[in-house]
Amino acid sequence: MTPMKIEAVELLRVRMPLVSPFRTSFGTQTHRDVLLVRAHTAGAEGWAECVALSDPLYSSEYASAAHRVIADHLVPRLFAAGDVTAALVAPALEPVRGHRMAKAAVETAVLDAQLKAAGVALRDHLGATQARVVSGVSVGIHDSIPQLLEGVAGYLEAGYARIKLKIEPGWDVAPVAAVRERFGDDILLQVDANSAYTRADARHLRKLDRYDLLLIEQPLDEEDVAGHAELARLLDTPICLDESIVSARAAYEAIRTGACSIVNIKPGRVGGYLEARRVHDVCAAAGVPVWAGGMLETGIGRAANLALAALPNFTLPSDISASDRYYAQDLTEPFRLSDGAIDVPTGPGIGVAPIPEILQDLLVDKELVRP
- Where do contacts with Mg ion occur on this chain (CB under 5 A)? 192, 217, 242
Q: What are phi and psi of 19, to 5 degrees?
A: -65, -30
* Nearer to ligand SMG (CB atom), residue 24 or residue 332: 24
Using Cβ positions, the residue closest to ligand SMG within the complex turns out to be: 294
- 135 binds, options Mg ion, ligand SMG, none, Cβ within 5 to 8 A by partner type: none
116 labelled catalytic: no
* Nearer to ligand SMG (CB atom), residue 317 or residue 349: 317
Q: Which of 5, 166, 207, 366 is catalytic?
A: 166
How does strand 239-241 pair with strand 341-343? unpaired
Q: State the minimum distance, in angstroms, from the CB of residue 22 to ligand SMG.
A: 6
Q: State the minimum distance, in angstroms, from the CB of residue 113 to Mg ion.
A: 30
CB 241 within 8 A of CB 218: yes
- 351 binds, options Mg ion, ligand SMG, none, Cβ within 5 to 8 A by partner type: none
* Nearer to Mg ion (CB atom), residue 275 or residue 319: 319
Q: Which helix (H) or strand (E) holds 138?
A: strand 136-139
* Nearer to ligand SMG (CB atom), residue 24 or residue 237: 24
Q: State the minimum distance, in angstroms, from the CB of residue 318 to ligand SMG.
A: 9
CB 279 within 8 A of CB 248: yes
Taking 3-state DSSP, the helix, strand and coil percentages for the chain, each rounded to the nearest 5, stand at: 40, 25, 35
The helix/strand/coil state of 310 is coil
Q: State the minimum distance, in angstroms, from the CB of residue 57 to ligand SMG.
A: 8
The Cα 115–Cα 106 span in angstroms is: 14
Long-range contacts of the stretch 199-203 (C-beta < 8 A, 24+): 199/224, 199/227, 199/230, 199/231, 201/169, 202/230, 202/231, 202/234, 202/235
Using Cβ positions, the residue closest to Mg ion within the complex turns out to be: 242
Q: State the minimum distance, in angstroms, from the CB of residue 24 to Mg ion.
A: 8
* Nearer to Mg ion (CB atom), residue 242 or residue 330: 242
Residue 312 C-beta-side C-alpha neighbours within 13 Å: 7
* Nearer to Mg ion (CB atom), residue 195 or residue 332: 195
The Cα 96–Cα 92 span in angstroms is: 9
Q: Which helix (H) or strand (E) holds 90?
A: helix 89-93
- 237 binds, options Mg ion, ligand SMG, none, Cβ within 5 to 8 A by partner type: none
Interface residue list for ligand SMG (CB under 6 A) = 22, 24, 29, 53, 58, 138, 192, 194, 242, 293-296, 319, 321
- 112 binds, options Mg ion, ligand SMG, none, Cβ within 5 to 8 A by partner type: none
Radius of gyration of the chain (CA): 20
- 295 binds, options Mg ion, ligand SMG, none, Cβ within 5 to 8 A by partner type: ligand SMG
The helix/strand/coil state of 183 is helix
Q: State the minimum distance, in angstroms, from the CB of residue 240 to ligand SMG.
A: 10
All residues at 6 or more sequence positions from 219 whose CB lies less than 8 Å from its CB, including other chains:
193, 195, 196, 197, 201, 205, 228, 231, 239
Neighbours of 80 (CB within 10 A): 9
- 319 binds, options ligand SMG, Mg ion, none, Cβ within 5 to 8 A by partner type: ligand SMG
366 labelled catalytic: no
Q: Which of 103, 116, 164, 266 is catalytic?
A: 266
Active-site positions read: 166, 266
